[in-house]
């Protein structure tokens, strides 16, 4: 799933409190029944053909948000699989066999083998090389020996180069203990691991509402100092048992009350959601944020179970102003149009007591408004595409405040984005499900504001024209080696940059094992392609010309 979609979805889940066990994707997808491509190959485990292994074709998450497999099949006794009715496009092919690991996946997201398929093409010899992963299992208890149930296990892969150990995540259901305190993590690639339970306070944790005590992170075999933790060795198919962790004393977590008030501090603001994010020593968000309760009629948000650390208060103005809704305070304390408000990031620190003096002042923000125009499209046609466009305004600030509202573009192309801070502002746009729309220029009264503009506090900058281009050009390419075939395990990626374009990159694709790649949704122009990631070659560049509705063919020869 695309990272943005995942974030938004997680947010939706958090905010609507609808987390639940059984669920499935519901966006109906029309199966492309006329697709005629085929992907076939063989799965081996430890060098031997592997039967009954499910293999699935997944659409490239770079291209689409689709959450269903394009097709799947199961290997026969000789390890062969064949998936038919695959349309042209970019895919990942993967064995759906979580007890195994695929060396070729490395740290690639989403894992699996990249395949670029032309219309009606057959790929007949895809090799998926699996090995049985290792298992780490043990039991988590508290001091008295009582098992800790539903305790999350944090696993870190020891960095052989030294430096910070990277968290190693799997589906959360296998990362937690059962009613006996037992956990069992499988499918692990060989390596050395640190195993821990308890709250990873030093790694930007932002949990909320877990009561007012917590167990500090404790590493196997019962050490809070990460540097002294015992490493657990995992080899192919190994099982490390009795990796038991006894958690020490529970520590106290604290309550933080945010006071949400109007700009002059005179009135409380009810009905906005409060949260916080953990920040590093430099005051930057460490990624983990938590959105909690709504401010009450006194403008107070009570956030509980916060472990000691440095944080930044967050306010999410996500609720519509209440007509009488019965599930929030009556109207007077509510803002009439909360998305028009902004605030300065408010840092706070939790050390050894509750915190009750964090005041967040909401003030009318600046706004930008204007019209979106899609180049070369009639107004009627453009109107049907506006919902695929996502506008974003970044206003330079010491700390970026996350926004939770998606600005709407009206059918006539008009838009207004309020609740902005003051400073150097820059507008960007992205498009979904395809990335075929690009913001080309931002204009106002003939001036080009694409590179950014200054926005004063409370200013309402009107009359912006956002010119959006449509890219339907395609580059289909093949990578070859000067003298002969591509080496076994060939792995590379291609990036495309449009000449004269300010963006650092205008396209990205994996090169598949056959050397094929495809770049889509390209605006017309000259493109500079760079092949990289192949260990034994220096980056190679090549220039290609692209027009809309056409496919440019390119062959790139690498010198050994």
Partner 1 sequence: MKNAFAIGLMLLLLGASAIAQTTAAAKSDKRAGTISGRLTDTSGQPLPHALVYVTGASSLRRETRNTSTDEQGRFRVTDLARGVYNVWPGVPGYVTVEGETARRTYRAGDTANFTLTKGGVITGTVTTPTNEPLTGCGVQAIRVRDKDGHAVTISRSSGFASTDDRGVYRIYGLLSGTYVVFASGKRAYMNEASIYENDMPTYYPSSTRDTTQPISVQAGEEASGIDIRYRGERGHAISGKLAGVPADINMGVSLELYNVASRAMEAQGFAGNNFPGSSIADGYAFYGVADGDYLVTATTNSFNSSFRGSGRAYVKVRGADVTGIDLPLTAYGSIAGTLLIEPVRSAEGQNKCEIKRRLMPDEMLVAVRPEKQAAEFHPYATGVRNDAPSDKGEFAFTGLEAGQYRVLPAMLGEDYFVRSMTLPAPAKNQPPVDAARSPLTIKAGERLGELTVTVAEGAAALRGRVVPATEGARLPDRLRVHLVPAEKEAAGDVLRYGEARVAADGAFTFQNLAPGRYLIIARPSADDDTSDEAPPPVAWNAAARATLLKQAAAANLTLDLQPCQRLTDYALKYTPPAPLPVRKKNP
Residues in region 159-178 near partner 1 by CB under 8 A: 171-174, 178
> What is the C-alpha separation between 286 and 400, in angstroms, rounded?
12
Using an 8 Å Cβ cutoff, are 341 and 363 in contact? yes
15 binds partner 1 (CB under 8 A): yes
Interactions with partner 1, residue window 417-456 (CB under 8 A): 430-433
Q: Which residues between 97 and 136 bind partner 1 (CB under 8 A)?
A: 97-99, 135
Which of 24, 107, 169, 380 contacts partner 1 by CB under 8 A? 24
Closest CB to partner 1 among residues 178, 526: 178
User: Concatenated DSSP letters for 258-302?
Assistant: EEEEETTS-SB-BS-EEEEEEE-TTS-EEEEEEEEEEP-TTSEEE
In whole angstroms, how close is the CB of 510 to partner 1 at the nearest point? 18
Residue 254 as a binder of partner 1 (CB under 8 A): the answer is no
- Torsion angle of C-alpha atoms 282, 283, 288, 290, degrees rounded to 10: 160
Under rule CB under 8 A, residue 327 binds partner 1: yes
* 284 contributes a contact to partner 1 by CB under 8 A: no
Report how far apart, in Å, the C-alpha atoms of 316 and of each of 237, 286, 306 are. 47, 18, 19
- Using the Cα atoms of residue 456, residue 458, residue 459 and residue 461 in order, give the sign of their dihedral: positive
Residue 389 CB, nearest distance to partner 1 (Å)? Answer: 8
238 binds partner 1 (CB under 8 A): no
Q: Distance between CA atoms of 519 and 474, rounded to whole angstroms? A: 6
- Strands 453-455 and 437-444 come out as unpaired
Q: Which is nearer to partner 1, 104 or 429 (CB)?
A: 429
Neighbours of 151 (CB within 10 A): 20
**Interface with partner 1 (CB under 8 A), residue from 184, 203, 310, 426:** 184
In a 3-state reduction of DSSP, which class is residue 11? helix
Nearest to 508 by CA among 487, 531, 525: 531
Interface with partner 1 (CB under 8 A), residue from 3, 18, 225, 560: 18
- Under rule CB under 8 A, residue 416 binds partner 1: no
Q: Does 52 bind partner 1 (CB under 8 A)?
A: yes
Backbone phi and psi for residue 105, each to the nearest 5 degrees, phi listed first: -65, -35
Q: Could you tell me which of 212, 209, 309 has the C-alpha nearest to residue 253?
A: 212
Return the residue of 47, 160, 163, 211 that touches partner 1, per CB under 8 A: 211
Contact call for residue 289 and partner 1 (CB under 8 A) = no
Q: Which residues pair with 348 in a beta bridge?
A: 311
Q: Which is nearer to partner 1, 62 or 530 (CB)?
A: 62
| Closest distance to partner 1 from the beta carbon of 335 (Å) | 14
Query: Between 316 and 368, whose beta carbon lies closer to partner 1?
Result: 316
CB of 542 to partner 1, least distance (A): 32
Q: Which stretch binds partner 1 (CB under 8 A): 22-30, 101-109, 223-231, 499-507?
A: 22-30
Q: How far is 277 from 303, CA to CA, in rounded Å?
A: 12
Site for partner 1 in 374-413 (CB under 8 A): 387-390, 404-406, 408
Binder of partner 1 out of 35, 39, 58, 360 (CB under 8 A): 58
Specify the residue, 86 or 554, whose C-beta has the smaller distance to partner 1.
Answer: 86
Binding segment for partner 1 among 48-56, 257-265, 280-288, 515-523 (CB under 8 A)? Answer: 48-56
65 binds partner 1 per the rule CB under 8 A: yes
Does residue 181 contact residue 127 with C-beta atoms inside 8 Å?
A: no
Closer residue to partner 1 (CB): 381 or 448: 381
Separation CA 306–CA 213 (nearest Å): 9
Count interface residues toward partner 1 (CB under 8 A).
Answer: 82
Cβ contact 523:542 at 8 Å: no
Q: Using an 8 Å Cβ cutoff, are 393 and 368 in contact?
A: yes
Q: Quick count: other Cβ atoms within 10 Å of Cβ 79? A: 20
Element (H, E) at 556: strand 551-558
Interaction between residue 536 and partner 1 (CB under 8 A): no
Yes or no: say if 140 and 149 are a contact pair by the CB < 8 Å rule: no
- Cβ at position 426, least distance to partner 1 in Å: 19
Among 78, 159, 210, 412, binds partner 1 (CB under 8 A): 210
Do residues 135 and 239 touch, judged by C-beta distance below 8 A?
A: yes
Residue 357 near partner 1 by CB under 8 A:
no
Nearer to partner 1, 57 or 523 (CB): 57
310 binds partner 1 per the rule CB under 8 A: no
User: Is the CA virtual torsion 179, 180, 186, 192 positive or negative?
Assistant: positive
CA distance 208 to 496: 43
Q: How far is the CB of 6 from partner 1 (least distance, A)?
A: 9
Taking CB under 8 A as the criterion, the residue among 111, 187, 207, 533 binding partner 1 is 187
Longest dimension (CA), the chain: 77
């Amino acid at each position: 799933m695309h990272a943005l979609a995942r974030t938004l979805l997680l947010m939706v889940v958090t905010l609507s409190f609808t987390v639940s066990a059984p669920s499935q994707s519901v966006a109906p997808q029309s199966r492309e029944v006329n697709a005629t491509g085929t992907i076939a190959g063989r799965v081996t485990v430890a060098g031997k053909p592997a039967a009954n292994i499910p293999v699935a074709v997944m659409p490239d998450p770079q291209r689409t948000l689709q959450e269903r497999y394009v097709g799947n099949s199961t290997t026969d006794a000789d390890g062969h699989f064949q998936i038919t009715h695959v349309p042209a496009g970019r895919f990942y092919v993967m064995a759906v066999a979580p007890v195994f690991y695929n060396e070729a996946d490395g740290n690639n997201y989403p894992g699996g083998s990249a395949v670029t398929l032309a219309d009606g093409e057959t790929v007949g010899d895809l090799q998926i090389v699996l090995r049985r992963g290792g298992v780490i299992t043990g039991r988590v208890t508290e001091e008295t020996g009582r098992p800790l149930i539903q305790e999350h296990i944090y696993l870190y892969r020891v960095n052989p180069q030294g430096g910070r150990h990277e968290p190693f995540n799997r589906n959360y259901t296998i990362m937690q203990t059962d009613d006996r305190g037992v956990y069992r993590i499988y499918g692990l690639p060989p390596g050395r691991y640190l195993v821990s339970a308890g709250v990873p306070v030093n790694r930007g944790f932002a949990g909320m509402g877990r009561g007012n005590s917590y167990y500090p992170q404790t590493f196997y075999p019962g050490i809070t100092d990460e540097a002294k933790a015992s490493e657990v060795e995992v080899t192919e198919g190994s099982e490390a048992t009795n990796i038991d962790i006894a958690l020490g004393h529970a520590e106290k977590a604290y309550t933080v009350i945010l006071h949400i008030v109007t700009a002059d501090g005179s009135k409380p603001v009810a009905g906005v959601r409060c949260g916080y994010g953990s920040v590093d020593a430099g005051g930057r968000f460490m990624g983990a944020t938590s959105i909690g309760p709504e401010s009450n009629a006194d403008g107070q948000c009570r956030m509980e179970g916060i472990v000691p650390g440095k944080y930044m208060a967050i306010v999410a103005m996500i609720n519509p102003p209440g007509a009488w809704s019965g599930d929030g305070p009556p109207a007077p304390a509510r803002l009439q149009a909360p998305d028009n408000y902004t605030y300065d990031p408010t840092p706070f620190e939790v050390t050894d007591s509750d915190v009750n003096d964090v005041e967040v002042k909401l003030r009318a923000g600046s706004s930008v408004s204007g019209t979106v125009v899609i180049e070369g499209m009639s107004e009627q046609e453009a109107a049907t595409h506006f919902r695929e466009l996502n506008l974003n305004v970044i206003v330079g600030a010491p700390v970026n405040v996350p926004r939770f509202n998606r600005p709407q573009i009206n059918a006539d192309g008009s838009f207004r984005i309020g609740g902005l801070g003051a400073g150097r502002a820059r507008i960007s746009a992205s498009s979904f499900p395809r990335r075929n729309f690009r913001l080309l220029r931002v204009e106002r009264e003939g001036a080009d504001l694409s590179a950014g503009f200054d926005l004063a506090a409370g200013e309402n900058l009107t009359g912006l024209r956002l010119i959006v281009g449509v890219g339907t050009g395609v580059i289909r390419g093949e990578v070859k080696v000067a003298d002969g075939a591509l080496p076994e395990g060939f792995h590379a990626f291609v990036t495309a940059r449009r000449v004269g374009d300010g963006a650092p990159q205008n396209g990205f694709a994996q090169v598949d094992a056959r050397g094929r790649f495809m770049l889509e949704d390209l605006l017309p122009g000259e493109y500079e392609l760079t092949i990289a990631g192949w260990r034994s070659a220096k980056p190679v560049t090549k220039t290609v010309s692209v027009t809309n509705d056409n496919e440019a063919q390119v062959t790139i020869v690498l010198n050994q």
